[in-house]
Copies of this chain bind each other. A is one copy, B any other.
Amino acid sequence: MSDPKLDLEIVRFVAAPRAKVWQAWSDPHILKQWWCPKPWMTEVRAFDFRSGGAFHTFMSGPDGGESDNPGLFLEVVPRERIIWTSMLVAGWRPATPWLGMTGIFTLADEGSGTRYTACCLHKDDADRKKHEDMGFFDGWGIMIQQLQEVAQSLP
């Protein structure tokens, strides 16, 4: 389903059981610990973890930079898949995103750990390239590394 001309995809082995990775995703107090590359900080402003539920993160950096990302969960399949978009906000309302994207996160068992796939869909090649040039692979790669560390630390 992923289209290399429009999408950006990262597939990683995460050395933590799938249940722990899911736990790190499904609790906003845990999610904020790994959601953006440190030392940037995440504030979770909405986390209604169901199809049609608001998902709003606000990130801020030590240099005063900010990134406001309101959006919506489109699909939540426990321990398997989360789909989120910036194109809609609470109540399915059309949004005005700084970048139109849909993130599809897939979890599968792989040995004693988790095969984690993060795919970001865009409307066209220009948006894909813009996102890649902003440092998508570094940024989302660090997020996954942080996700692994947090998942491993869960009791």
Interface, chain A (partner B; CB < 8 A): 1, 6, 51-52, 74-75, 83, 85-88, 91-96, 100-102, 104, 121-124, 127
Contacts and interface: CB of A to CB of B under 8 A. Distances in A.
B124 A96 contact: yes
* Protomer copies: 2
A74 B127 CA distance: 23
A75 B51 contact: yes
A1 B121 contact: no
Given A52-B74, A74-B52, A75-B51, A83 B94 contact: no
A91 B51 contact: no
Contacts of A100: 94
A94 B101 contact: yes
A94 B122 contact: yes
Nearest to A51: B51
